[in-house]
Structure 1
Amino acid sequence: MRVLIAILLLLLQTMGVASDRPNIVFMLSDDQAWNGLSVAMHPNVSGSKEADFHTPNLEKLASQGMRFSAGYAPASVCSPTRISLMTGKSPAALHWTKAAPPETGHKLMEPRNIRSIPANETTIGELLRKAGYATAHYGKWHIGGGGPEQHGFDESDGDTGNENAYQFKDPNPVDIFGMADRAAAFMEKNAKVKKPFFIQLSWNALHASENANQATLTKYERQLKGENRKRITTAAITEDLDTGVGRIMEAIDQLGLFETTYVIYMADNGAGGGKKVLAGGKGGVWEGGIRVPFIVRGPGVKPNSWCHTRVVGYDLFPTFCEFAGIAPGKMPKGIEGGSIASLLKTAGLGEVKRPREELVFHFPHYQGDAPHSAIFVGDLKLLHFYEDNRDELYDLSKDIGERDDLAAQRPAETKKLRERLDKYLAEVDAQFPSPNPNFDPHQPVEPKERGGKNKPGKSTTN
C-alpha cells in the first residue's frame, strides 16, 4: 500500500509540474532571407527588411517579443539544418552537410553524407514527450528515418519532403492553412486536459511560390509590375505564409494561452541578402546563406526588444529542455548548443554558454560556392576555402556584408582562427572534400539538376 501511495504521489507531482510548464510552438520557414520580411532584423541596417513585402503578423510577433539580429541557421541548406534542430548537434558532427546530391567534375570530390536520421539519435521530440509534453510535427520533415512519429512525435504529416509544397494550391497554398488548422486542433485538444505541448510547424513555404493564392499573386503583380516573376511569386507566398503565422497566433490567443506559450520563428537557411546587404546565399556559409530571421515571444520576454548576441538554431534544443524543466544531465551527449533562455529573461543581454566558444559552419561541397567552412569568435569571422587553401577574415561589427577581407592585415588572428577551425573539425570528426584524380580543368562542369527546388514531384534535395 505504501508503495502504491508513493507512486500516486509521484504521478500527481509530475502532472502538477507538467501543467505548469510552458507550451512551445516552433515555426520554421523554408528558404527565407534574413531581410525577407517587412519587419527589420537589425535596428541599424536599413536593408534588413523587405519594404515591398507585407508580413503584418510577423511584425506583430516581433513587437510582442525579441528579435535576434544575429540569428543563424545551422546550415545553408535544408536537411542539415533540420537534423541539427532535432538533435542539438552541428551538421558537421552529424555528417549531413548538404541536401542535394554531390556534384562531379570539380577539382575536389565531395564527401558522402548520411541521408536519414539515425535511430540512435535522441530528438527534442523524444525528450519533451518523456518529460510529459504532447508533441506534434506538421509540414516538411525531410530527414527520413521513418518520419516524425518514429522520433518522438505523437502526431505528424508523415515522412514528407518537398513534394508537399506542390500538391497544395489556392485556397490552401503549399498547405499553409491546413497545417495551421491541424496545429490549432492539437493545441485545443491538449489545452482542455491541461497538458503542455510542443508543436513544430515546418512550413513548406517559400517553396512552390507559384502556388500562392491567386488574390495575393494579383496584388503583387500590380505592386511589383515590371519585376521578374520569381520576385512576384516570392512576395505572394511570403504574405500567405504570414497569414498562416497569424492563424497560429490567433489560435493561441483564443485558447487563452498567450501568457504560457513560447512562439519561435526562424528559417531553415538564408536565401541571399537581397539588395546587396549580405554576401552569398543558399549553399554557402557567407552571411546570406546562414543568417536568418529569428524571433521569440513568450513568458518573460520583453516586448519589442532586441538581442545582438550570436545564436544558432541548435541552441534551441537545450533552450526547449530548459523551458520544460529537463536537467542538463538528462540531455544526450554531444549537444553543441547552449540555452538562450537567459537572454530572453535579461532583455537580450549576455552570452550563450556552449561547450565551445566558437561557432563553426561547414560546407565541404559545391553549390553556392566551392567547398568552404567558417568560424566565428566574437565579431571576427574566418572563411576557409579548400580548393586553394585560402583564408578570408571579416569583422562583422563593421562589415556585415563581408566586403573588406582583413586576412592580409591581421595575419596573427587569421592564423589563430584557422587553427581553431581545424581543431574543431577534427574533434567532431567532420568530413572533408578530397582531390579528384580525374579532374580535367579544360572540361566544363555540367550544371547540377536541382530536383525539388521548384519542380513538381521532386523531393530529394534542398
Structure 2
Amino acid sequence: MRKKFTLGNALLSACCLSSLSLHAQTADRPNIILFLVDDMGWQDTSVPFYNDSVMPLNRRYHTPNMERLAEAGVRFTRAYACPISTPTRCSLMSGMNAARHRVTNWTLDYDKRTDAERGDIVPPEWNYNGIQPDTVTSTHDRKNTTLITGLPEILRRNGYYTIHCGKAHFGAISTTGADPSAFGFEVNIGGGANGAPGSYLGTRNFGQGKWAVKGLEKYHGQDIFLSEVLTREALSALEKPIAEKKPFYLYMSHYAVHAPYDEDKRFSGKYRNRYDEQLKDTLNEMEIHYAALVEGMDKSLGDILDFLQKRPEVASNTILLFMSDNGGQALNNVRQGKANRDQNYPARAGKGSAFMGGVREPMMVCWPGVTEKNTTNDNPVMIEDFFPTILEMAGISGYTTSQTVDGKSFVHLLKNPDEKRERPILWHFPNLWGETQNKEEGYGAFSAYLKGNYHLIYHWENRKLRLYNIKEDISEQNDLSAQYPDIVKALAKEMTDELKRCKAQRPSLKTTGKRIAYPDGSL
C-alpha cells in the first residue's frame, strides 16, 4: 500500500538521493547492498515505523541517513525476523524458516549448546554448530548442522562480485561455515563465528580471544570505532567490481548495535544531559552509549549513500535494502526504563521474546526506477523472504539449492505497491535463552504464528496459548484467547501443520523425557 509520509525533522528534498531516482538500465544486472543491523529495535531511529506516528523513541535517536533512505524509497511497516541473531542470519543465507534449518538459538563454540539449563523442559537436539556449505564432507562439519547452498554462492556463480563485511555468525568455531567465504563471498571483512565484538574500540584491538573481530589488525591501537572501520573497508572493496564494471553484492552486516555498549565519542556528547520524554529522566550512560552506537551505524549508511551519489552511473543501478536481525534489547540489566515496556515502545518486550518487540524490524528498500519515493508498504515480510527476493532482483532464475526454500519473494510488492498479500509467518524457538525465562513477557521456549492481524503464541513449557490482535493492540496487553477460542483452535492447527511441514523439532519434559505436544494438542 502506497502512503506518503513527512518526517517532522526530515532532511527534505535537498538531502534525498536524487541520483537514486534515475532509472536503472534494464539491460544491466543491478548491484545489491543489504545493510543489516544487529539488535536494532524497530523504533531505534528517527524514522517512524508505526502508523507514520513519530513516537518518543523516534525523537530520542538521530538517524538522518535513515531519513534520507526513507525519503528515497519504501518503508515496510510489518517486517519480521527471528527473536535471536543466528537463526535470522541462517534464514537469510538459506531462505529456510528456522523451524526447518534448526539453528534455533545462537551459536559460538563447537559442539556446545547455548541454552540455559534452568527450566522444566529439555530443548531438542538443535543444530548448534550452525549452517555449513553443502560441499563439506567431514564428520566434524556435518555434525548438528544444516547443509545449504548459500545466497552469495548463487550470486557468485551468476557473475556477481560478493563482499561480506562485519558480523557473520553462521557457523560455530572451527567449522567451515564459520568463514563467510565458504558460502560464496569472495571478500570477507571481519566476519567469523563470534556474534559480537570483544570491543568496538581500535585502542582495544576490537577484542581478544573468541570475541575478537579479526582481519582488522592495521587499525589496532588507533583511536577509531569499529563501525567506521568496517565502512571504510567495505567502500574500498567496492572499487574493484566498479572498476571492472561487474555487478556486486555487498552484505554490510554491522556488529552495531549489539553489546558491549562502548562509547562512540563522535556522537555520545549530544545525548549527555538530555531529558527523555518517554523515560521522564535524563539518559543514563548506557543509553547515551546506545544512542551513539545507533548514530554511528547511521553514519555508515550515510557514507555508503554518499559513495553512491558521487557515482551516478553506479547509484542508478544499485538496490539498497535495510533490515535488522531481531528486536532491540528490552531488559533493564542493560537498558534504561521499565523492562519489556520502554525499550521497543509501543511494542512489548524485545530480543528473545515472542512478542512484537522481539521480532518486528525496521526495513526499507530503495530500487531505482521501481520503488516509489517516500512511501510505506504494510504487507508482512519475513527474513527468509530476502533469499528469493535478492535472487529475483538479480534476474537469477532456474537456480537449484540443496535446501528447501521457504521464503516468498516480495519483488512483486515493490513493483505493484497497491497489491495486498496474505503471508502467514511462523516463528519457532524451542530453546531456553540465557538472559531470561520470563514466560509472561514471551521468553522461554515458544512457537508463534501470525496470520493477518492475529498473533498466536504457544509456550512449550506450560502448553499455554495466547492470542493478540496486533492492529488494535500493538502492545499485546489484551489476551483474546478466552474470547475467541475458535480462532485459537484454527490458528493452532495451522501453526502445527507448518511445524510438521518444516519437520520442526520439539522440546521434551524433564520429568518424563517425552516430547511436548504440538500447539493443537497432537503428538
Tell me if both proteins adopt one fold, taking TM over 0.5 as the criterion: yes
| Contact 1:319 1:338 survives alignment (8 Å) | yes
Provide closer, same or farther for how the CA distance between residues 172 and 195 of structure 1 changes in structure 2, counting only shifts above 3 A: farther
- SS of equivalent residue, structure 1 residue 293: strand
Equivalent of 1:363 in 391, 411, 429: 429
More off after superposition, 88-97 vs 397-406: 397-406
Aligned to 1:346: 416
Aligned amino acid, residue 359 of structure 1: I
Aligned amino acid, residue 279 of structure 1: R
Within a 5 Å distance, the mapping from 1:26-425 to structure 2 comes to 26-47=34-55, 49-73=57-81, 75-99=82-106, 101-114=114-127, 115-120=129-134, 121-144=148-171, 145-157=177-189, 158-162=191-195, 164=197, 166=199, 168-169=201-202, 174-208=225-259, 210-224=261-275, 226-256=282-312, 257-271=314-328, 272=330, 274=343, 276-299=345-368, 300-327=370-397, 330=400, 333-347=403-417, 349-351=419-421, 357-367=423-433, 368=436, 369-425=443-499
- SS of equivalent residue, structure 1 residue 222: coil
More off after superposition, 88-97 vs 176-185: 176-185
Task: Write out per-residue CA displacement over residues 78-109 of structure 1, whole angstroms, 9 at most, x where no aligned residue.
Answer: 11111110001011111111116111131111
| Contact 1:66 1:302 survives alignment (8 Å) | yes
Shift of 1:293: 0.6
Shift of 1:48: 8.0
CA distance in 1, matches of 2:505, 2:465: 19
CA distance in 2, matches of 1:397, 1:82: 28
Aligned to 2:8: none
CA distance in 1, matches of 2:473, 2:196: 39
The percentage of counterpart residues that share the same residue type is 30
Shift of 1:425: 0.8
Shift of 1:333: 4.7
| Contact 2:274 2:283 survives alignment (8 Å) | no
Shift of 1:231: 1.2
Shift of 1:218: 2.0
- SS of equivalent residue, structure 1 residue 265: strand
Aligned amino acid, residue 411 of structure 1: P
- SS of equivalent residue, structure 2 residue 131: coil
CA distance in 2, matches of 1:221, 1:46: 22
| Contact 1:188 1:255 survives alignment (8 Å) | no
Aligned amino acid, residue 117 of structure 1: I
CA distance in 2, matches of 1:311, 1:151: 24
CA distance in 2, matches of 1:348, 1:82: 29
CA distance in 2, matches of 1:205, 1:174: 11
| Contact 2:163 2:251 survives alignment (8 Å) | yes
CA distance in 2, matches of 1:128, 1:394: 40
CA distance in 1, matches of 2:37, 2:373: 22
Shift of 1:315: 0.7
More off after superposition, 136-145 vs 265-274: 265-274
Shift of 1:220: 1.4
CA distance in 2, matches of 1:327, 1:69: 28
Shift of 1:118: 2.3
Shift of 1:49: 4.8
More off after superposition, 148-157 vs 223-232: 223-232
Aligned amino acid, residue 197 of structure 1: F
- SS of equivalent residue, structure 2 residue 476: coil
Unaligned stretches of 5+ in structure 1? 1-16, 440-462
Q: TM-score, normalised by structure 2?
A: 0.76
Aligned amino acid, residue 432 of structure 2: Y
- CA-based RMSD of the aligned residues comes to 2.3
Larger helix share, 1 or 2:
1
Aligned amino acid, residue 231 of structure 1: E
Provide closer, same or farther for how the CA distance between residues 376 and 167 of structure 1 changes in structure 2, counting only shifts above 3 A: closer
CA distance in 2, matches of 1:152, 1:275: 35
